[in-house]
Structure 1
Amino acid sequence: MISLRHARVRYGPLEALHGVTLCAPAPGLTVLLGRNGSGRTTVLQALAGTVPLAGGAVVWDGVDVTRMPAFERARHGLCLVPERRAVFGSLTVREHLELLAADRLPYPQLEPLLDRRAGTLSGGEQRMLALSRALLAPARVVLVDEPAQGMSPAVAARTYALLAALDACVVVAEQRLPPALLGRRVFVHELRRGAVVFSGEAAEWAGRSGNGAAPSGG
């Protein structure tokens, strides 16, 4: 399990997280829901250690890792896939695969593109390549900001099936609950303006005030 406890994050004079407390179990899939500016991306960055806390703590398997730098968290098995700049544009798909010491890709759509530089791929193809790192690495915690951005509905559904099958603590940030997760046992934290306004299972969240899933990306 990884969690935030009364976490506060500031960007200059602005406070982005106002004492946020939430947890994500392992193994399992947790979704951070919220509109742009809600604080969901900042929560991922705080868990990963790429932004410092102004207050509160990050606790991982019962150990306070607040002062542990991001590279040390990565060495201990934490993998962050940000929304942007998640691949090395000058490297080919094959070279990314070699960095992972892997001999396969979780997306067959990438196989014909092995000799293409990542910077020349479409947005959806870059997303698949970035997610391959999280899906193939022996990670204990996987944090992904908008996993299915730029993907077709079919590829988005495959992406969430792959993430849900990981034997890890998986936390994803989305604006709305993806259709591919309906019917799955998923934990949800909804954020608004840097505060948690709901925590519970996805079925419970979907039943509140007619909440529903968003259409998949095109």
Structure 2
Amino acid sequence: MTTSTISLRHARVRYGPLEALHGVTIAAPAPGVTVLLGRNGSGRTTALRALAGTVPLSAGAVVWDGTDVTRLPAHERARRGLCLVPERQAVFGSLTVRENLELASPSYDEVLDAYPQLAALLPRRAGTLSGGEQRMLALSRALLARARVLLVDEPTQGMSPSVAARTYDLLSGLHACVVVAEQRLPPVLHGRPALVHELRRGTVVFSGEAAELDPPARADRTPPPPGSRPSG
């Protein structure tokens, strides 16, 4: 599978008169895991959506493998191998677990090996699953998609520590560009090679390897830019 690198360059996103990203520049190389780190309101989710094309830029660019794809619609980015797993509504709640998986691939044994808990849930409607079970299902669908760029918002939300660790093992093992949005650096990534971009109030306050990241006390250094908006 061909690897892929994606980036935001001086990206600005507005929601009406309020700006959520203030000239953000971040890059996610492949293969590997890149973490967009930040509290609620930092802009990490908006940055993820900007990469996916589900929110438009008011300025700046999205560059994918050296090509400006800023004006490429989300469905066309998906057709070219980009997969977004949002924090909410990432599965078809009215369909069974089996039907959700079959929409991604007729053969899904590999994800049942990765998440054996799903095997007993195959006949269940996805909307009746717990939050952690829905995340397992959403990620299983994404793994089956064989994406070149995989964007995941809060990948391990609701999961037990052991399942969360397994999830990051799976994501780290993909020969793809993987970008995740997290509030805190996942413990499983401590000591592993991972690129981190920390955002605060729509600006990047740190970019580097996970091992270089300062303690959380750094979070209040940057004053809020004018016109900022509480956005994920």
- SS of match in other structure, 2:8: strand
TM-superposed deviation, 1:84: 0.3
Displaced runs of 4 or more, over 6 A: none
TM-superposed deviation, 1:209: 4.2
Partner of residue 216, structure 1 = none
TM-superposed deviation, 1:210: 6.6
TM-superposed deviation, 1:103: 2.7
- Is there any run of 5+ residues in structure 1 with no aligned partner, and where? 212-218
CA deviation profile, 1:128-176 (whole Å, cap 9, x unmatched): 0001112121100000000000000000000000000011000000011
2:204 is aligned with 1:196: yes
2:169 is aligned with 1:161: yes
Question: Superposed, which structure 2 residues align to 1:1-218 within 5 Å?
Answer: 1-101=5-105, 102-104=107-109, 105=111, 106-205=114-213, 208-209=214-215
- SS of match in other structure, 1:72: helix
CA deviation profile, 1:46-88 (whole Å, cap 9, x unmatched): 0000000000000000000000000000000000000000000
TM-superposed deviation, 1:30: 0.2
- SS of match in other structure, 1:95: helix
Higher relative contact order at CA 8 Å, sep ≥6: structure 1 or structure 2?
A: 2
CA–CA distance in 2 between the matches of 1:97 and 1:54?
36
CA–CA distance in 1 between the matches of 2:215 and 2:126?
42
CA–CA distance in 1 between the matches of 2:199 and 2:51?
15
- Is there any run of 5+ residues in structure 2 with no aligned partner, and where? 218-232
CA–CA distance in 2 between the matches of 1:83 and 1:21?
23
CA–CA distance in 1 between the matches of 2:197 and 2:118?
33
Q: Which amino acid aligns with 1:11?
A: Y
Query: Structure 1 length normalisation: TM-score?
Result: 0.94
Equivalent residues, number:
209
Q: Is the 8 A contact 2:108 2:144 kept in 1?
A: no
CA–CA distance in 1 between the matches of 2:39 and 2:134?
23
